[in-house]
């Protein structure tokens, strides 16, 4: 007898329907699996047999053929255990087909019939809803996650026996409690904690407003990491669609917290410089999103940029530009979104102290040149903002502490300009500038995405500003690419200033964010 039920296979961020067909035919006992199944799916033969037996069901004593269709799609992972077990029960007359009509299922079976969580329950729920399914059966641990997709009943269970009880009487299915959406917390890491560093703080604000990538150059302890970690808190809160997409991505990666509800915070990912290209851009025999995709809608922080392998960094180029990454496997290509802001940090030279007033640099000119040569690779081409940060002196740092008699906390110059503006205040300006940018740019693309023609069309630039820009190009020998970066940044500066046209002040400020180039020229 032939039986059929529905499951799903993950293809990047999405899932597609897989029809699980089981035929019980005369012949020697055994379970044969066809339809491009990987090792974990092949192993489900043993798990399914044991789970059925240990849950008190009959396993057929003849030949059982399991086909996973479409045959040209690679099926991975243990999530097919449950639909296979249910199809075997149907084919052997132990489960009425009517009960499985338009019901999708997914779950890994333990030998005792218990159900273990799977990756990508959200993507499966979306695919099931699209196909008009009546319900999706998932392991208990995936219930809350699947229920983030509205409009599809989710039946979650802890074991195969519970699944069969639910199928017999769906009214038993406990409604998945949608956890109240946690109110987005204010940023835990506030810009108010950063003393001084006006240039670095301003760069963060511009990066947040125009979605520009940022390079921080400075000696150890100058606050590069401290600044970078405060960028997510300056970005606008995630919209509902962004939160859903991000949660779906983490669900596919198997990183969504159990019962954690929708992700509300923009991610901050800081991979170690020794990481492999698969860890950074994604991959593996079962393609999974890498750090770049996990930073989607948030920040990817590459600390010690010069220590990353060049070939690994090279792979970031195209995805960073396109906002999506394709991972190719033998038979298919999987797509993951990765619209992340890049913040890179580096020491100014191998010893770390070049340009520091307090400590001499021990590197020779040729050492520095080599170091900079390595840095100025292809990735630096994509970075609009460069900032050289200096270490604060003891006096500056001391001001961030309150003394026992309650003094301090402000600059000797008073509260003006002490750089202790909070993230909330800066985020307010960023939100306003972003609205302006989205209103003006076609398809609401960020200023960082504008290139030649787009910049010319959109950026009204004042005559004086144009002259200053041309002058800087000549005097500093800026390449066309660098000059374009200056214009993009100036456009964002004008947006932050609520101005329609780019004036000379905006150009001058934008030019100040090429300081690593300047520093190199001075010391090279
Ligand atoms: N501008 C600053 N304001 C307040 N604290 C600072 C500042 N710069 C550095 N610090 C202190 O120094 C520590 C080291 O800074 P960090 O960001 O790790 O430096 P880097 O990444 O450049 O090596 C921080 O944890 C912080 O306590
Ligand atoms: Mg650091």
DSSP three-state, residue 30: strand
146 and 220 within one domain: no
Please report, for the domain that includes residue 79, its CATH number. Answer: 3.30.230.10
Point out the ligand 1 atom lying closest to the alpha carbon of residue 229: 17
Q: What's the pTM value of the predicted model, to 2 decimals?
A: 0.87
Q: Rounded to whole angstroms, what are the CA distances from 495 to 91, 196, 264, 415, 467? A: 65, 24, 27, 26, 20
Ligand 1 pocket test, pick from 190, 203, 219, 226 with the greatest ligand atom count within 8 Å of Cβ, gives: 226
Q: 178 in a domain, yes or no?
A: no
203 and 157 within one domain: no
Point out the ligand 1 atom lying closest to the alpha carbon of residue 216: 22
Alpha carbon distance 429, 320 (integer Å): 25
Give yes or no for residue 109 having a pLDDT over 60: yes
Give yes or no for residue 181 having a pLDDT over 60: no
Mean pLDDT along residues 341-360: 89
Q: What is the pLDDT of residues 191-215, one digit of tens each?
A: 999 988 899 999 999 999 999 999 9
Taking the CA atoms of residue 135, residue 138, residue 144 and residue 150 in that order, the dihedral angle to the nearest 10 degrees is -20
Q: Which pLDDT does position 416 carry in this prediction?
A: 40
Q: 145 in a domain, yes or no?
A: yes
Q: Which pLDDT does position 210 carry in this prediction?
A: 95
Which structural domain range is residue 492 located in?
A: 191-399+419-523
The response to whether residue 222 sits with its C-beta less than 6 Å from ligand 1 reads: yes
Q: What is the pLDDT of residues 283-320, one digit of tens each?
A: 877 778 999 999 999 999 999 998 888 888 888 988 98
197 and 165 within one domain: no
Alpha carbon distance 282, 296 (integer Å): 13
Point out the ligand 1 atom lying closest to the alpha carbon of residue 226: 17
Lookup result for tokens 């991972």: 327
Percent of the chain's residues with pLDDT above 70: 89
Q: 414 in a domain, yes or no?
A: no
Please report, for the domain that includes residue 213, its CATH number. Answer: 3.40.50.300
Contact 374, 306 (CB under 8 A): yes
Alpha carbon distance 337, 340 (integer Å): 9
CA angle 199, 204, 209 (to 5 degrees): 125
Across all residues in the chain, what is the average pLDDT? 86
164 and 199 within one domain: no
Alpha carbon distance 509, 484 (integer Å): 14
135 and 211 within one domain: no
288 and 216 within one domain: yes
Q: Rounded to whole angstroms, what are the CA distances from 130 to 16, 124, 134, 136, 333? A: 10, 10, 11, 12, 22
Contact 199, 387 (CB under 8 A): yes
Which ligand has the nearest atom to the CA of 304? 2
Q: Which pLDDT does position 411 carry in this prediction?
A: 40
Q: What one-character-per-residue DSSP string does 308-358 give?
A: S-HHHHHTTHHHHHHTEEEEEETTEEEEEE---EEEEEE-SSSSS-TT-SS
386 and 276 within one domain: yes
Which ligand has the nearest atom to the CA of 191? 1
Contacts of 414 (CB under 8 A, 6+ apart): none
126 and 18 within one domain: yes
Exposed / middle / buried, residue 357 (Cβ in 10 Å: 0-12, 13-18, 19+): exposed
Which ligand has the nearest atom to the CA of 192? 1
413 — pLDDT class (breaks 50, 70, 90)? very low
- Pairing assessment for the beta strands 14-25 and 2-11 based on DSSP bridges: antiparallel
Lookup result for tokens 């001075």: 522
Q: 181 in a domain, yes or no?
A: no
Contacts of 133 (CB under 8 A, 6+ apart): 6, 102, 103, 104, 152
What is the phi-psi region of residue 100: left when phi exceeds 0, alpha when psi lies from -120 to 50, beta otherwise?
alpha
Q: 86 in a domain, yes or no?
A: yes
> Which residues make up the environment of ion ligand 2, defined by Cβ < 5 Å?
225
244 and 162 within one domain: no
Q: What is the DSSP letter of 133?
A: -
Positive or negative: CA dihedral 4, 5, 11, 15: positive
Contact 450, 488 (CB under 8 A): yes
Mean pLDDT along residues 355-362: 86
Alpha carbon distance 200, 188 (integer Å): 19
Q: Angle 463-476/480-496 helices, nearest 10 degrees?
A: 140
Q: 319 in a domain, yes or no?
A: yes
Mean pLDDT along residues 241-253: 91
Q: 47 in a domain, yes or no?
A: yes
C-beta neighbour count of 513 within 10 angstroms: 27
234 — pLDDT class (breaks 50, 70, 90)? very high
Exposed / middle / buried, residue 107 (Cβ in 10 Å: 0-12, 13-18, 19+): buried
Per-residue tokens: 79: 């999530």
Contacts of 8 (CB under 8 A, 6+ apart): 15, 16, 17, 18, 79, 104, 106, 120, 123, 124, 127, 128
Contacts of 287 (CB under 8 A, 6+ apart): 12, 327, 329, 334
Lowest mean pLDDT among 74-83, 235-244, 370-379: 370-379
199 and 168 within one domain: no
382 — pLDDT class (breaks 50, 70, 90)? confident
203 and 290 within one domain: yes
Cα(212) to ligand 2 centroid in Å equals 20
Ligand 1 pocket test, pick from 223, 305, 411 with the greatest ligand atom count within 8 Å of Cβ, gives: 223
Cα(397) to ligand 1 centroid in Å equals 9
414 — pLDDT class (breaks 50, 70, 90)? very low
236 and 144 within one domain: no
Contact 116, 254 (CB under 8 A): no
User: How many domains are there within the chain?
Assistant: 2
**Which one, of 136, 133, 137, lies nearest residue 159 by Cα?**
137
Q: Which pLDDT does position 436 carry in this prediction?
A: 93
Contact 55, 121 (CB under 8 A): no
Percent of the chain's residues with pLDDT above 90: 52
- The values of phi and psi at residue 18, to 5°, are -120, 130
- Pairing assessment for the beta strands 385-388 and 214-217 based on DSSP bridges: parallel
Ligand 1 pocket test, pick from 200, 214, 221 with the greatest ligand atom count within 8 Å of Cβ, gives: 221
Alpha carbon distance 295, 157 (integer Å): 32
Strand partners, 216: 345, 387
**Domain final residue, candidates 172, 205, 231:** 172
Q: 186 in a domain, yes or no?
A: no
Contact 506, 497 (CB under 8 A): yes
**Domain final residue, candidates 122, 140, 172:** 172
Per-residue tokens: 263: 């992700």
């Amino acid at each position: 007898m032939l039986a059929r039920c529905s499951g799903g296979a993950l293809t990047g961020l999405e899932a597609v329907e897989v029809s699980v067909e089981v035929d019980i035919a005369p012949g020697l006992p055994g379970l044969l699996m066809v339809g491009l199944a990987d090792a974990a799916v092949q192993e489900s033969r043993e798990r399914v047999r044991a789970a059925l037996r240990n849950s008190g069901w009959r396993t057929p004593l003849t030949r059982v053929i399991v086909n996973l269709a479409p045959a040209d799609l690679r099926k991975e992972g243990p999530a097919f255990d449950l639909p296979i077990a249910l199809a075997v029960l149907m084919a052997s007359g132990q489960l009425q087909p009517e009960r499985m009509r338009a019901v999708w299922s997914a779950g890994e079976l333990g030998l005792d019939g218990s159900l273990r969580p799977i990756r990508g329950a959200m993507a499966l729920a979306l695919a099931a809803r699209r196909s008009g399914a009546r319900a999706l059966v998932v392991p208990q641990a995936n219930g809350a996650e699947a229920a983030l997709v509205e409009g599809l009943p989710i039946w979650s269970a802890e074991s195969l026996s519970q699944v069969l009880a639910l199928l017999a009487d769906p009214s038993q299915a406990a409604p998945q409690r949608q956890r109240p959406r946690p109110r987005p917390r204010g940023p835990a890491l506030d810009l108010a904690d950063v003393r001084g560093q006006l240039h670095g703080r301003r760069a963060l604000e511009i990066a947040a407003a125009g979605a520009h990538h940022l390079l921080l150059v400075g000696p150890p302890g100058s606050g590069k990491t401290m600044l970078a970690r405060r960028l997510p808190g300056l970005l606008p809160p995630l919209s509902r669609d962004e939160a859903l997409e991000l949660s779906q991505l983490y669900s596919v990666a198997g990183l969504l917290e159990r019962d954690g509800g929708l992700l509300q915070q923009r991610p901050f990912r800081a991979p170690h410089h020794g990481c492999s290209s698969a860890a950074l851009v994604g991959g593996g025999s079962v393609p999974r999103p890498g750090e770049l995709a996990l930073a989607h809608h948030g920040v990817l922080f590459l600390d010690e940029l010069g220590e990353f392998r060049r070939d690994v960094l090279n792979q970031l180029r195209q995805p960073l530009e396109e906002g999506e990454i394709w991972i190719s496997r033998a038979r298919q290509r999987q797509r993951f979104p990765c619209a992340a802001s890049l913040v890179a940090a580096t020491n100014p030279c191998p010893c770390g102290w070049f340009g520091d007033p307090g400590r001499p640099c021990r590197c020779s000119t040729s050492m520095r040149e080599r170091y900079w040569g390595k840095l100025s690779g292809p990735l630096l081409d994509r970075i609009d903002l460069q900032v050289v940060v200096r270490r604060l002196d003891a006096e500056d740092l001391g001001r961030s502490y309150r003394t026992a008699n309650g003094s301090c906390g402000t600059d000797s110059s008073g509260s003006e300009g002490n750089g202790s503006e909070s993230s909330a205040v800066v985020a307010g300006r960023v939100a306003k500038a972003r609205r302006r940018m989205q209103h003006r740019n076609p398809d609401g693309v960020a200023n960082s995405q504008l290139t030649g023609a787009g910049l010319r069309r959109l950026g009204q630039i004042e005559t004086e500003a144009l002259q200053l820009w041309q002058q800087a190009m000549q005097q500093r020998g800026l390449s066309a690419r660098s000059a374009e970066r200056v214009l993009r940044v100036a456009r964002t500066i004008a947006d932050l200033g609520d101005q329609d046209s780019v004036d000379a002040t905006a150009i001058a400020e934008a030019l100040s964010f090429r300081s690593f180039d300047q520093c190199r020229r001075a010391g090279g």
